[in-house]
Amino acid sequence: MNYNDQMKHRVKRIEGQVKAVSRMMEEEKDCKDLIVQMSAARNALDRAIGLVVSTNLEQCVREQIEKGEDTDELIQEAVNLLVKSR
Mean pLDDT value across residues 40-49:
93
Distance CA 40, CA 54 (A): 21
Contact of 37 with 21, CB cutoff 8 Å: yes
Domain that includes residue 77, residue range? 5-84
Check which CATH number belongs to the domain holding 33 and give it: 1.20.58.1000
Q: What is the pLDDT of residues 13-31, one digit of tens each?
A: 999 999 999 999 999 999 9
Mean pLDDT value across residues 21-46:
95
Q: What pLDDT is stored for residue 18 in this prediction?
A: 96
Q: Is the pLDDT of residue 61 over 80?
A: yes
- Is the full-model pTM beyond 0.75? yes
Task: Give the number of domains in the chain.
Answer: 1
